[in-house]
Structure 1
């Protein structure tokens, strides 16, 4: 007879080792599996594998009753389907496909990039607002990596001493352990080098270069806080988050004529569909420019 902890340990090992999911995804998927096990009380893989669509629907209904929205419900369903499919494999079933159940529709919003001027201003503002010079240089360097190289915040914070000094290109390990090569602009290299010259910690080959005030790895939350302060000073909307800098990197390259396949490689997207959304952003920006410039549109 299996205990709840046995199911969760096997599921976690699969997610981290076989699927190489991010720590955030693993935590969310484990939490969803834990809630399902509390509800159905399975005692072995075969019992869990028999979880059907009505049972999953009831679980989602319970979660809805707790107040979760469409996005969270869709994520929960995806996690539970994966868990059931894993259970069916563990139980030795020929058909490992999870129950067929359609999740809630999610209206995908367009990414909200910020202008090149605002991106530059943000990097300067965070540098000037920090309590210590090296912390300001640190926050500016992280944001420059996101805007100038299109890195995700986790990718920027995962850089180690082995990646230093930065050259003209950088090998980045992104989601799903997928590697890509991104060009590094001189201004980005200079920003990171300036931080390394000022920060008080030794640059160890196997340790992250971006450190917190006490020397531990820098958390994404600290970068987000710095960005929040900067956008308040500049009067930018709440959508001006660190990740918006990556959106800006993508839309500005697309506007400059970079083709979608190349942009997909630079961003590390698994599918071209994830990259194509930026064509809608660029079209929307062009329409705004047209409306603001055309004499018959002004004043409407």
Structure 2
């Protein structure tokens, strides 16, 4: 009895390769393996997207994670689904030997890639710290290294911040974790300060009363904590009264608007009560000597 094997390596392509070989399709093995790979990958990937991602999303929501934390975790889950789909597809298509060779090459290349991607890995680790420590969230107003803006997106490598001039800054995450970040809206309330200068001859108690009254009458300034005024400076030309007020649920636009309105009303009350806001005065004194003045004068008399 003569025993034959499927032509074109059909055994390596599984059932699909067998069907192609029985139909007389040339190169049934490689073609069948490729089709098996595509089918297996598509099935696992689609099932993962339809079943795994919704479960992960619901789990993250039940743990009350913020959107800025859920978004990257869902991205990581999608990457894992792709990785699992590729692994299953390799096995289903009979690419076992190829997969082993690929793993060997990948292990050898990991060290070189690690050195080449130090900055990327650094930003990735920084992104993980941002998700765990939560120094800021999407929608927060932050300030760092002389820059400021509203956080629009946080990924595992970079964060995107929209400046108040409507410029979009793409900031590596390591820049936001290596230095000091100021987050004025991290808490529910924000304290504002402003230094009012009055003249030395003006009534300090009256000026303090005006500053407090205008703070209490402004609808956006909180009554608790109560506004306060302290004498903090005795300058060259003015007495400095520092006002401290609080606003609720602040944003940068609220902060600028409230402070501007408050300072304007205090200035108007100062004008009405004849309280001066002095500006620095400089007095120059001394004498000027001109060398050879007497000789020049004698020559002129001659």
TM over 0.5: no
> TM-score scaled to structure 1, two decimals?
0.22
Q: Higher Cα Rg: structure 1 or 2?
A: 2
Considering Cα pairs closer than 8 Å and 6+ residues apart, tell me whether 1 or 2 has the greater RCO.
1
Q: Which has the higher helix share?
A: 1
